Amino acid sequence: MPRTFPYQLSDRLFVLGDNLFLTYLLRGETCALIDLAASGTVPLIRKQLRHLAIDDGAIENLVIQHAHWDHVGALPYLREAFPRATVLGSEKAREVLGKTKIVDQFRQNDERWCSRLRDTGVFGELPDFLSYPSIAVDRIIRDNETLSLGGIPVEVLATPGHSACSVSLHLPTEDTVLASDAVGFYLPESDDFLPMFFQSVGLTLASISRLEALGVATLGYGHSLDLLVRGKAAVSHALRRLRERTREFARTIQEMADAGAPEGDLLAAVHRLSYRDFLAELYLPDYLQAVSPYLLKAILSADRAAATTGNAQRGFASDGRDTTSTRTLFSPSRGMR
């Protein structure tokens, strides 16, 4: 049965937005919006909040999970709608969102993709686009910190690998972890995955293990309500498969590279696995072609790091580099028609 919005996960946790871009609502004594999507979802989020009889004044916190355009695009609009709300994000997210050039690219991507999605009928009305030179983060959230959002405890887990600024949020009272894009996406129909390790394969594997250790009953992502994982056994299986498939995929590409496959073939293999499911609904193929080099680099640079440190488990060392601001990944000049 298709899931509709607002989608209730527990007494106090709801999913808002559109199936392509999810925002979570945590309703305690006050409310928090978590993972802040693209601007095109703002009219939907506001309508869904009204449907839940939540006053604008009840929104106290806006929580960034990572600083990519499709996860902060709505933020300037939500800040305007809820001026009393505090914006929370990791230190690295604050760094990225303070950089005018990057924020300008994010803004252009947000406007262009949201306009395209309106043209294709995904979005109805769009907000009047705002111009903003940077996106302020009011409060830094740190690894292992326990926040109280409207009186509900929320543990912050640094889960890099997709980007250096990624955090997952563990909600013990709701038996849930919200991972945004940190660990990739498990595809239940094919028992396969969508790779998302733009920063590092090794760090992604460590982040997956960290979420596995929580043993929660719900795994929420930043995209596709259809992919939401429910039930402890299902979450455990999804995370185990994400770990296995991430490792296998990196190994396959590495073996192709070792056998002398040209870069074009390696990129085509990465693209074949990436351009599926909601990513194929959201993007045109050439956008994913533009980001494939980052997945490839994360695989091949891990191998080089392993070789130089003499690490026997080649291909999976983590380099820990900060590639959050990876320019062309978000360049509006590429992948747009």
Q: Which residues in this chain contact Zn ion in the complex, by CB under 5 A? A: 70, 181, 222
Cβ count near 260 (within 10 Å)? 7
**162 and 34 Cβ atoms separated by less than 8 Å:** no
**289 and 295 Cβ atoms separated by less than 8 Å:** no
DSSP assignment, residue 148?
A: E
CB neighbour list of residue 174: distance below 8 Å, 6 or more residues apart: 9, 10, 12, 13, 152, 218
Rounded to 5°, the CA angle 181-184-186 comes to: 125
At 241, the amino acid letter reads R
φ, ψ of residue 323 in degrees (nearest 5): -110, 20
Q: Is the Cβ of residue 67 or residue 85 nearer to Zn ion in the bound state?
A: 67
Phi-psi region of 219 (alpha: psi -120 to 50; beta: other; left: phi over 0): beta
Closest distance to Zn ion from the beta carbon of 303 (Å): 26
Q: Is the Cβ of residue 6 or residue 222 nearer to Zn ion in the bound state?
A: 222
The tokens for 8 are 């209730």
Closest distance to Zn ion from the beta carbon of 222 (Å): 5
Closest distance to Zn ion from the beta carbon of 89 (Å): 15
Q: Is the Cβ of residue 5 or residue 185 nearer to Zn ion in the bound state?
A: 185
Closest distance to Zn ion from the beta carbon of 45 (Å): 16
Closest distance to Zn ion from the beta carbon of 69 (Å): 9
φ, ψ of residue 311 in degrees (nearest 5): -70, 120
Annotate 22-54 with b (16+ C-beta within 10 A) or e (fewer). Answer: bbbbbbbebbbbbbbbbbbbbebbbebbeeeeb
Q: Is the Cβ of residue 58 or residue 290 nearer to Zn ion in the bound state?
A: 290
Q: Is the Cβ of residue 196 or residue 269 nearer to Zn ion in the bound state?
A: 196
Q: Is the Cβ of residue 202 or residue 222 nearer to Zn ion in the bound state?
A: 222
Closest distance to Zn ion from the beta carbon of 226 (Å): 15
